[in-house]
Chains A and B, each alone.
Chain A
């Protein structure tokens, strides 16, 4: 269909250059968006995607170059940028509320219009309730509805699915398709290859502020696209995989962590996991299947109704402090709220968890701190100008490494990683994955939680699949395939779980 539409650009950018504080964010970039097409915009973090979007929407003025816009642009962002405490309808119509004849907001009509509008997006929630009471996916859909209702000709979507569940992703992609059919042009920014290849017509790849490729997406093999993004040759990637993840780990025979029958109603019900030193065990399952809860139960952060946790055969008391002392560390999923302290320096963030160990009578040795911090910055290849740089100034990938370093300097034996590569760019992701490998090879027992199946299949030696808070199957060896996992998740497991349990 897109090929049938005669070429008529709705946005045309020629030779745009933008420099921030001496750093060239965009260099002589050409970019054309045709009317009605879905255009993928890809690149690693820092490649210039956000800058290009801001130039397109007029937030940034380019230093050089020409931009021609022929229509109204709406942008929806990765995080839902609406007001949670205000009602759904108030959010939807903020700034262009329907008025009555006294010039006052007509609330009844606003609610009616909002309900009508949202029905088209499959949302039937009460529009007069606060937006914050909706699920994240629904909120994202409201943001999308708002963007489109503003009679946009172009909708820019910046990682719209990064916080959505698979089911919500489907709905969103359906809406994107509908917009496409209505002739609205879409710029779609995402790291998720599956989505890109499903819905996008064309692709533009940015690397280091330069447009390295623009063209139809379907004709471009995935591996070629990745090589364009990373700037490495296809051969290199074929040899090492896109992730270089999951080299053989040498696991000892005796598990260092044995969690049995963990139950915390209603979230998890009788989950058992055992990990041997040097082994990476993946925890698969849908959002809400109890993955995070299992990890939290292991480290004692979730009160449990039943179950035991043994470290090297010794029961661990049910507190985080005791678990940490026994050698369990956990990297939490949401690094913004549960980990990073943005205004502290890299050094302070790293030594935070190890402070009790580094201090005597409450006084810490600065030189000891510096030594440890230096070691980890080197070892984890954290890119910082100095250990005293504020963590807030680092990229997502480097922040994640700082957190990893924080837990590593407590010298754990068991590492629980909850979505360690979420929201970081492709390059940093590969590095974090390589690190996990390295740590396992050094004898750490790793529990890896990830929503990305490929990451689990590549990285883990064994997979425990959770469904609705229970173990739905355990897979290893030949069974580590997409089909097996999906079957286990989708509850078609009768043969497979039998099969698996014979192992």
Chain B
């Protein structure tokens, strides 16, 4: 029995791997191909540039979320932290480019660090800890903006605006930032000791401890990373919008989780890829874009379709793991 098991499982695993990793990619290619044919405007360079730019902010957050989820955790605070990062960047821009960029990274990184320390040292559930910091960050944001009445503007001639609005061949800088981070993230995950620790922590925490993996340190690092990246996404958004908009980012953490899972990362941890996450972002953004193209369709259908998609992926993961 065991002999047949050992023979059967590798092909099963291979199939699972292909479907999990390539499933989203296949869906993305199909979606793009169909949209290209059906909607003439979809394939226009302008639309594709816009699509990539829209996706880049979410991608930056989702890369951090990928690491967190692979360790078996979750970070609910990123939506609030993202908004906070934007406001801090806008406020800081009056003191120059460096402050505008560094302030959100440091503050949001600190929130992530505190998340990580609480989760790793006290063994509290990530869900609760990051739910608390979701409320905390949103509250802090409202305090410094006088309950949102005060929207900090970034001077149009500031160098910081360039970070959000500058382009190369028409493609916005944030796209390149996200791309570089994705490549770096993939490399860190698969080719560094820290990356292996991330997998081990989420795959079997008890074993990881016995194998000498610094589990606590790894957790602290992934949450710090997630917070910092959310702050960076916020800063990029502020630069792009030329102001620290206070009402953005509500529920964004759920979008981030959704794209990570659609990209094939196991919500239970131990398995996942950054590339999958990027594909997940692409898929969600293409769906949104197409629904906008239809025009007559209520834009709330975006959420309906995304939800159905997520459900399909999770059900597939469940079936394939048997």
A: which residues have CB within 8 A of B?
77, 80-86, 90, 94-95, 97, 104-105, 107, 125-126, 129-130, 132-138, 165, 267, 287-288
Contacts and interface: CB of A to CB of B under 8 A. Distances in A.
B208 A83 contact: yes
Contacts of A287: 1-2
B187 interface: yes
Given A94-B211, A133-B6, A105 B196 contact: yes
A85 B196 CA distance: 11
Instruction: In the A-B complex, list the 4 residue pairs whose CB atoms are closest, starting with the nearest.
Output: A288-B1, A83-B203, A104-B191, A85-B270
B271 A85 contact: yes
Interface in B108-150: none
Interface residues of B, number: 32
Nearest to B201: A83
Nearest to A468: B1
A137 B1 CA distance: 13
Most chain-A CB neighbours within 10 Å: which of B192, B203, B208, B212? B203
A94 B213 contact: yes
Nearest to A286: B1
A267 B293 CA distance: 55
29 contacts: A77-B210, A80-B207, A81-B206, A82-B204, A82-B207, A83-B203, A83-B208, A84-B270, A85-B199, A85-B202, A86-B200, A94-B196, A94-B211, A94-B212, A95-B193, A95-B196, A95-B211, A97-B193, A105-B190, A105-B192, A105-B196, A129-B10, A129-B14, A130-B13, A133-B6, A133-B10, A165-B2, A288-B1, A288-B2
Given A105-B192, A130-B13, A125 B6 contact: yes
B6 A134 contact: yes
A164 B196 CA distance: 28
Contacts, number: 85
A129 B13 contact: yes
Contacts of A135: 2-3, 5-6
A310 to B, nearest CB: 28
Interface in B131-181: none
B193 A83 contact: no
A267 B6 CA distance: 16
B44 interface: no
Contact of B196 (A90, A130, A132, A133): A90
Contact of A133 (B13, B195, B202): B13
A138 B6 contact: yes
Q: DSSP class of B's interface residues: helix, strand, loop or mixed? A: helix
Most chain-A CB neighbours within 10 Å: which of B3, B14, B196, B210? B196
B9 interface: yes
A104 B187 contact: yes
Contact of A83 (B14, B266, B270): B270
A287 B191 CA distance: 39
A482 B204 CA distance: 41
Nearest to A77: B210
A138 B10 CA distance: 14
Contacts of B3: 135
Given A129-B10, A129-B13, A83 B192 contact: no
Contacts of B271: 85
Contacts of A85: 199, 202-204, 266, 270-271
Contacts of B191: 104-105, 107
Contacts of B207: 80-83
B200 A94 contact: yes
Contacts of B5: 135
Contacts of B210: 77, 81
Given A83-B207, A85-B199, A135-B2, A126 B193 contact: no
A126 B10 contact: yes
B203 to A, nearest CB: 4
Given A84-B204, A90-B196, 9 more contacts: A85-B271, A86-B196, A94-B200, A95-B212, A105-B191, A129-B10, A138-B6, A267-B1, A287-B2
Nearest to B207: A81
Contacts of A129: 10, 13-14
Interface in B25-62: none
Most chain-B CB neighbours within 10 Å: which of A77, A83, A94, A97? A83
A208 to B, nearest CB: 27
A82 B3 CA distance: 21
A500 B210 CA distance: 51
B320 to A, nearest CB: 13
A73 to B, nearest CB: 13
Most chain-A CB neighbours within 10 Å: which of B6, B187, B204? B204
Contacts of B208: 83
Interface string B276-304: 00000000000000000000000000000
A105 B204 contact: no
A137 B187 CA distance: 33
Nearest to A293: B1
Nearest to A100: B191
Contacts of B203: 83-86
Contacts of A77: 210
Most chain-B CB neighbours within 10 Å: which of A85, A134, A288? A85
B196 A97 contact: yes
Contacts of B187: 104
B315 to A, nearest CB: 20
Nearest to B212: A95
Contacts of B266: 85
Interface in B205-264: 206-208, 210-213
Contacts of A126: 10
A83 B1 contact: no
